[in-house]
Structure 1
Amino acid sequence: MELAIRCPYTPAEWQQYYYLRWLILRAPLGQSLGTEQDELEDSAWHLAAFYGEEVIAIGRLQANSEAIGQIRYMAVKEKYQRQGIGHRLLTALEQIARQQGMSQMVLNARETAVPFYVTANYSLLGEGPLLFGQIKHTIMSKLLG
């Protein structure tokens, strides 16, 4: 099977997409199902990495302004990490941002994800928000060429 990176289409694919987001990013913090979604879902661009019919990685791009996009909710299933899938997903989200006329990307990276974004040429800007009072973030940025 080949890896495909695209937007979820069917209700079942969307269910997998949001469930994976909750499973990786919210459940370990004791957050209930439903906390993985916010008020910007309908105005954002969503991508998932599919291995066959299985969603194995997810990410979202939102427009903070005409020029600035923000990457949110990036996650890769543990057994698929360190295989380049996250970088492929990030590159695809950056491409969408370029197509929308954005010239800069920003994100809040969990401490454990900072090295991943550094390898993708993101720069550290400073301390970011503390998620649910327990997960430190670093604000990072990248100019799109």
Structure 2
Amino acid sequence: MYPVEIRSASTLREFEAMYAQRWTVLRHPLKMECSLQPNQPLDSLEQTAYHLIAVCNQAIVGSARLCHLTPTLGSLSYVAVSIEFQRQGVGTRLVQALLDQARLDGLSQVRVMARADTISFYERFDFRAQGDVIYYLGIAHQFMLCQLSSAASISSSTP
């Protein structure tokens, strides 16, 4: 397996490739329409959210986003790892990097709307279920909240 680099998406080309990768992992299996363009200009995206990508052999194999909802609350979303790279620590590295960024930004909490089959993954980062299970796009989801002051730091030895 080749090494995987985790870094911010920074160019329009990277954003386009990230949206394509995200659609392939999260939306194509649901037979959703292909929408690869951001809803807002690149400059606006860079100011309102952190978009991380996982890159292997110049291809984006993972992505995730952190948005600031309030001065103390962030939202983690669109965590997507290409199937051939799942269960190799890529998702862990993406989430950990965004939680570290949230701490640097002074956020005290981060929330995620997790698909039911990913709840145990987020629990490893000290996310805790909030409220009832909801159905979004026909899939069971659970809102989860992580208190950053008490959140565990998970290190991964996966390159």
Structures share fold, TM-score greater than 0.5: yes
Instruction: Supply the RMSD in Å over aligned alpha carbons.
Output: 2.0
Contact 2:130 2:144 in 1 (8 A): yes
- Paired with 2:6 and 2:147, the residues of 1 have a C-alpha distance of 23
- Paired with 1:97 and 1:81, the residues of 2 have a C-alpha distance of 24
- Paired with 1:19 and 1:89, the residues of 2 have a C-alpha distance of 17
Q: What is the aligned residue count?
A: 144
Residue equivalent to 1:140: 144
Deviation at 1:3, TM superposition (A): 1.7
TM-score normalized by the length of structure 2 = 0.82
Look up the equivalent residue of 2:128 and give its one-letter code: S
TM-score normalized by the length of structure 1 = 0.89
- Paired with 1:98 and 1:24, the residues of 2 have a C-alpha distance of 28
Give yes or no for the alignment of 1:82 onto 2:87.
yes
Give yes or no for the alignment of 1:123 onto 2:124.
no
Q: SS at the partner of 2:35?
A: coil
Change (3 A) 1:61 1:55: same
Q: SS at the partner of 1:26?
A: helix
- In structure 1, list runs of 5 or more residues that go unmatched: none
Q: Deviations over 1:30-66 (max 9, x none)?
A: 2112278556971111001111211111100011110
Q: Sequence identity, in percent?
A: 31
- The runs of 4+ residues in structure 1 deviating greater than 6 Å are none
Change (3 A) 1:96 1:77: same
Residue equivalent to 1:18: 19
- Paired with 2:97 and 2:69, the residues of 1 have a C-alpha distance of 18
Look up the equivalent residue of 2:142 and give its one-letter code: T
Q: SS at the partner of 2:71?
A: coil
Contact 1:22 1:36 in 2 (8 A): no
